[in-house]
Amino acid sequence: MDSGEATNSQQDPMLGRTVSQYRVVRKIAQGGMGAIYEATHLESGIRAAVKVLLPELSSRADAVSRFFTEAKATSMLEHPALVKIFEHGKSPDGEAFIVMEYIDGESLRQAQDKTYFGGSALLLLHQMASGLAVAHGKRIIHRDLKPDNIMLVSDPSAPAKRRVKILDFGIAKMLPDGSAKEAANAATRTGTLIGTPMYMSPEQCRASAPPDEKTDVYSLGIILYEMLYGEPPFTSESAGELFALQMFADPPRLKQRVPAIPDQLDELVHRLLAKQPATRPSMVELATALESITSTGLEDGAAQDRPSVASSRARSNQGEEIGSTSGIVRAQLPNNPRRADHGERVAATSPKKGGLVLVILSATFLLVVIAVLLILRNRQPVAPPPVVTNGIQPPPPSAAMPDAGTNAGAGPSTTLPASPPPSTATDPAANGKHSKSGKSGKASHKAVKTGAGNKLQVDLWK
């Protein structure tokens, strides 16, 4: 053993150990329940993957039972898209392990960070649906389908030049009439949430009833949506918000975001994401439907060729995005840019500063104009002062019109005959009385306020 191997052995005690008939060579990945190692068979030298439950969980009966559910469920299945299980058990030290097929590839999540699968998405999804149809035929549902649990292996003979391998049946559920009754007892009970919120079905989020095969169909619908558009239909940094979106919000139609896809494909994705399980097709029906769609109308490309990237760039250039918008509102705006970080977190793209300043200035100007209009509308007119010449009030313009003093209660006025033209002199006492009545003349010009003009609602963002 060289110095490098000695250092690794000190860092991880599993390295160099023998598990069953396999010698552990290197650590591949670390998960929440255990770690995965590359190992070689002691006699044949065949490579395998060894999944070991964490030591603190190996002493818990419930954790070990759930861990072995993956081995029992997957060992019942035979399909090229499903990983093969060789054996499982406990080491002399009490560590639970599973020995499975070694897969030399990358996860769909890792591949999507570099590649856009616009043209080959249907071929890859057909492999997934065909493998899961076999699992459903054995009354086994996965319940945690996501790009991280789907491996892609280079295979020139495969339709998309890549072979799909579905991993991690660790939270798989065997339905009551399955062949392994003990595995059903280890399955998650009603009222417990298990899965990844961004890919969970509405019935999984509610946890009100045990999910059936249609929950895997919903998850595949989200995966297909993400492969074609570049992002899932619902994204948020909050798990609770994602639960609400999955249960209540209508996903934006895929064709609104990717106009090039055929109507038949848009309708299929819409059915896969139906809120009611009965509305979704079965996994066998999904595989058949995918065979009938000859093309997506798109082509494979680099990650920056995803429609979501182009949409994000276009709206960011226009300064239209509001970073504080809630996830529910974002999900209901078909072209709102969002960028997912490995399917777990999302960060909204900030608008350009120039566009934001322009919006603020426009809003401020509009508010000032509205305020000025309201002040002018509600302003009370002022009556002109009476005109007095040498102490004599000019005569009224018409003999039939009462003077201002009559309206104000200042005193009587005299009605004169129509012909000849009237000539009336007002004595100083009457004139003085009339002058006082001018103060109350404002009462006849009382302003009338209208309800429609006093309250204006302006939506600055529409």
Specify burial of residue 460 (Cβ count, 10 A radius: 0-12, 13-18, 19+): exposed
Backbone angles phi, psi at 440, to 5 degrees: -90, 0
Give the residue from 44, 43, 41, 12 showing the smallest Cα distance to 28. Answer: 12
Distance of alpha carbon 274 from alpha carbon 171, whole angstroms: 23
Interacting residues of 319 by C-beta distance below 8 A, sequence separation 6+: 351, 352, 354, 355, 356, 358, 359
Q: Which two tokens mark 265?
A: 């494909």
Q: How many residues does the chain have?
A: 462
Active site annotation includes 144: yes
What SS3 class is residue 364?
helix
CA angle 336, 341, 344 (to 5 degrees): 100
| DSSP-assigned letters across all residues of 186-220 | HSPPTT---S-GGG--HHHHH-SS---THHHHHHH
Residues 129, 131, 137, 139: what is their CA dihedral angle, to the nearest 10 degrees? -90
- Return the DSSP state at 82: B
Catalytic residue, chosen from 93, 104, 113, 144, is: 144
Distance of alpha carbon 362 from alpha carbon 249, whole angstroms: 33
Q: What distance lies between CA 288 and its chain's CA centroid?
A: 29
298, amino acid identity: L
CA Rg value for the chain = 39
Beta bridge partners of 141: 173
CA angle 45, 47, 51 (to 5 degrees): 130
Give the residue from 257, 198, 204, 205 showing the smallest Cα distance to 222. Answer: 198
Backbone angles phi, psi at 206, to 5 degrees: -75, -35
Please identify every residue annotated as catalytic.
144
